[in-house]
Amino acid sequence: MGRSLTELRAVGPWIAARIHGWLDAPPDILEPDETRKGFLTMAEVRRVLDAEPEWERTPHADLQVHTTDSDGGLPLPEMAARARGLGRPFIAITDHSKSLTIANGMDEGRLADQIVRIGHLNAELAASGDPFRVLRSIEMDVFPDGTCDMEPHTLAPLDLVLGAFHSKLRIREDQTERYLAALREPSVHVLAHPQARMYGRRTGVRADWARVFAEAAERGKAVEIDATPARQDLSVELARVAMAEGVRWFSMGSDAHSASELQFLPFGLATAALAGIPRERILSYRTVDEVVAWGRELRAG
Ligand SMILES: [Zn+2]
């Protein structure tokens, strides 16, 4: 007290006067706009996971990964190798389906070809005694009426089908019915990035989330926590609603389109931790055999 700010390094009379000005009359801190609310920062993610290290210490799979088969940056074997290098016990390859042409979505023929290549990759891993596995999966487009864009029989060989909305995401009217229809679609295992929000761009689709999650709970379907920082979808707030409505299964994926994005997963772990979701209810924390069996049972009804 009583000493001049100019005693500090690099603070001259001009900077000292500015600092005094700010202290006397703090500038208005603007509220973030709606598209920027409810996102965790990396610092918050670290604080949560450092306090509960079991979230990172327990092996966990990445259940949303893209490759050059749609709009990802690396071919399937390289993306798998990079995820394996990060210690993921298994991953799901979830390239886009055919109606998402902007993302080079796969038609039925290309999906069938990918399924064969994943089969070969898994056979090679097994032959070399490597426990890492790749699930055959897809991020399938669901239309606003709840119908899907792929021939149902072509989805039968898949271990996991993620259903996602990619159109009419800025509509302001309540869209509960489209979510209920998607959850009733027999081929869909996981409702992917449910709210479809995007940081700084859109707040996401509006729905009666309690009803949507109650339907998922009733049908034993999973809802996703998409860990891409700009998505964080479900948010902590919605993940809490999902828990309150009795959702039994959660899926977690980085939604990586490049190798570095495989490291987004901690945003999902922190979201789950803050929402009080037990790890045993997150498919990523189950064994690969359990997830495959879960997918089969759900499809069998
Ligand atoms: Zn995706």
Residue 99 C-alpha to ligand 1 middle, in angstroms? 14
> Dihedrals φ, ψ of 160, to 5°?
-150, 125
Residue 234 C-alpha to ligand 1 middle, in angstroms? 14
- Which token pair is 282? 């997150």
Residue 9 C-alpha to ligand 1 middle, in angstroms? 49
pLDDT at 255: 97
Cβ–Cβ under 8 Å, residues 99 and 105: yes
CA distances from 140 to 9, 17, 111, 150, 240 (A): 58, 59, 11, 7, 26
pLDDT tens profile 155-206: 999 999 999 998 888 888 989 999 999 999 999 999 999 999 999 999 999 9
Residue 66 C-alpha to ligand 1 middle, in angstroms? 7
Residue 163 C-alpha to ligand 1 middle, in angstroms? 10
Residue 244 C-alpha to ligand 1 middle, in angstroms? 26
Residue 238 C-alpha to ligand 1 middle, in angstroms? 19
Residue 164 C-alpha to ligand 1 middle, in angstroms? 8
pLDDT tens for each residue of the chain, 301 residues long: 678 899 998 899 999 999 988 888 877 777 888 899 999 999 999 999 999 999 999 999 999 999 999 999 999 999 999 999 999 999 999 999 998 888 899 999 999 999 999 999 999 999 999 999 999 999 999 998 888 999 999 999 999 999 999 888 888 898 999 999 999 999 999 999 999 999 999 999 999 999 999 999 999 999 999 999 999 999 999 999 999 999 999 999 999 999 999 999 999 999 999 999 999 999 999 999 999 999 999 998 8
- E strand map for the chain: 62-65, 90-93, 133-141, 160-164, 190-191, 222-226, 249-253
